[in-house]
């Protein structure tokens, strides 16, 4: 019952998030759903065919074949869903001039994950070899799961990161507006953003908002005690474990919020002292954010009149949550306006109004 409830909440949350997207349309939704269902049916057919072909083979051949087919079908389904559900207006521009040098900003993150999986697999493999008895099979199991995740996640992450790197490179080659700042301007602006972050109140303070947390605990406890099978002792321990995990996440997020200003200062000091605006998105503070996509889109752009004057961009980002309704998280980007940029602001007003017709653009 509980997995069904979580799946229902996740489905409702995903639908509500997609309903808010500027690209939403009934036709696109129905067409995408039909195509994805056909793709799932095709993958099931491939799996059935693989089972029938290997049913009389040795266990080693059957298992290796099924593992390869499962990886192939999973990757194929992920790429098919991405291709089908991405509207034409959200596709990134990845065509580059011959002289363009491809950036590696997004792929560097994938390389770090590849190193993590490589170290983890080596570590689990060594333990599986060295530990005697049946305990070694536990490490073989964990290693198999880690290998499967690496084979699925790394190609998808690399493909998407490469597309973002190509899009960012294309944007840098042909931007709408490109602003560069002196070290003095950048350092002063960085300190202003850090001070504004410090002045922003935390969204959750335990001493003030403990009632909200208590209601969450009560909802979890009632749901588990009513719908979860088992004896009362087991239910109680499960409830305490769930509530303890939620409390730990709240405390951890609060500490992250407290460290946010210093983390922002370190990020800004490492970032390139320039800003790019282009057809696909905005590149500032070392972060590339697209104007329009399935998961993130611009909702407003305005001028912040507080000295020093800056541009305020508001985005909404869709975040999936396996344990409940999916979330739409606001993302804010502030960009310093250099002196004599009135003509650039007029062009940004024109270009963004055409690119994001459903967003509120007030830049001139």
Query: 181 in helix, strand or coil?
Result: coil
Report the pLDDT value the prediction gives residue 349, as an integer from 0 to 100.
96
pTM of the model: 0.82
Helices 59-85 and 136-173: crossing angle in degrees, nearest 10, is: 30
Distance between CA atoms of 313 and 284, rounded to whole angstroms? 11
Distance between CA atoms of 171 and 198, rounded to whole angstroms? 33
Report the pLDDT value the prediction gives residue 202, as an integer from 0 to 100.
58
96 half-sphere exposure, CB direction, 13 A CA radius: 19
Residues 179, 186 contacting (CB under 8 angstroms): no
Report the pLDDT value the prediction gives residue 320, as an integer from 0 to 100.
64
CA angle at 122 for the pair 137 and 109, rounded to the nearest 5° = 125
Q: Where are the chain's structural domains?
A: 2-173, 177-362
248 half-sphere exposure, CB direction, 13 A CA radius: 6
Residues 285, 278 contacting (CB under 8 angstroms): no
Distance between CA atoms of 357 and 364, rounded to whole angstroms? 16
Report the pLDDT value the prediction gives residue 6, as an integer from 0 to 100.
55
Distance between CA atoms of 262 and 194, rounded to whole angstroms? 7
Distance between CA atoms of 183 and 194, rounded to whole angstroms? 16
Helices marked H in 228-316: 232-270
Report the pLDDT value the prediction gives residue 283, as an integer from 0 to 100.
97
Strands 296-304 and 360-362, bridge-based pairing: parallel
* Residue numbers in the chain where pLDDT is lower than 70: 1-15, 17, 200-210, 256-258, 320-327
311-322 pLDDT per residue, tens: 999 999 887 655
Strands (E), the chain: 177-180, 274-277, 281-284, 287-290, 296-304, 310-319, 327-336, 360-362
Q: Which residue has the tokens 């690119």?
A: 355
Distance between CA atoms of 232 and 145, rounded to whole angstroms? 33
From 164, 191, 148, select the one nearest 280 (Cα to Cα): 164
């Amino acid at each position: 019952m509980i997995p069904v409830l979580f799946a229902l909440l996740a489905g409702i949350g995903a639908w509500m998030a997609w309903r808010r997207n500027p690209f939403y349309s009934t036709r696109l939704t129905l067409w995408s759903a039909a195509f994805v269902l056909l793709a799932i049916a095709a993958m099931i057919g491939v799996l059935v065919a693989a089972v029938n072909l290997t049913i009389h083979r040795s266990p080693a051949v059957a298992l290796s074949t099924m593992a390869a087919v499962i990886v192939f079908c999973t990757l194929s389904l992920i790429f098919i869903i991405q291709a089908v559900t991405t509207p034409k207006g959200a596709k990134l521009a990845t065509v580059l001039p011959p002289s363009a040098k491809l950036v590696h900003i997004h792929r560097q993150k994938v390389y770090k994950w590849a190193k993590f999986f490589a170290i983890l697999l080596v570590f689990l493999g060594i333990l599986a070899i060295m530990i005697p008895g049946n305990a070694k099979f536990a490490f073989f199991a964990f290693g198999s799961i880690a290998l499967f995740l690496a084979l699925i996640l790394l190609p998808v992450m690399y493909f998407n990161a490469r597309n973002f790197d190509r899009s960012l490179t294309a944007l840098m080659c042909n931007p709408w507006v490109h602003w560069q700042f002196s070290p003095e301007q950048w350092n002063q602006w960085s300190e202003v953003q850090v001070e504004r972050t410090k002045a922003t109140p935390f969204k959750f303070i335990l001493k003030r908002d403990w009632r909200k947390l208590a209601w969450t605990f009560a909802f979890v406890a009632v749901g588990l005690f009513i719908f979860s099978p088992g004896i009362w002792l087991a239910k109680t321990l499960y409830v305490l474990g769930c509530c303890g995990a939620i409390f730990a996440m709240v405390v951890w997020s609060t500490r992250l919020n407290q460290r946010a200003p210093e983390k922002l200062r370190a990020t800004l000091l490492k970032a390139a002292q320039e800003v790019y605006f282009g057809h696909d998105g905005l590149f500032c503070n070392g972060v590339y954010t697209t104007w329009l996509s399935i998961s993130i889109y611009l909702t407003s752009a305005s001028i912040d009149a507080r000295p020093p004057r800056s541009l305020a961009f508001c985005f909404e980002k869709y975040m999936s949550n396996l344990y409940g309704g999916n979330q739409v998280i606001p993302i804010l980007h502030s960009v310093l306006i250099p002196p004599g940029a009135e003509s650039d602001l007029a062009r940004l007003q024109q270009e963004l109004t055409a690119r994001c017709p459903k967003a509120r653009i007030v830049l001139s």
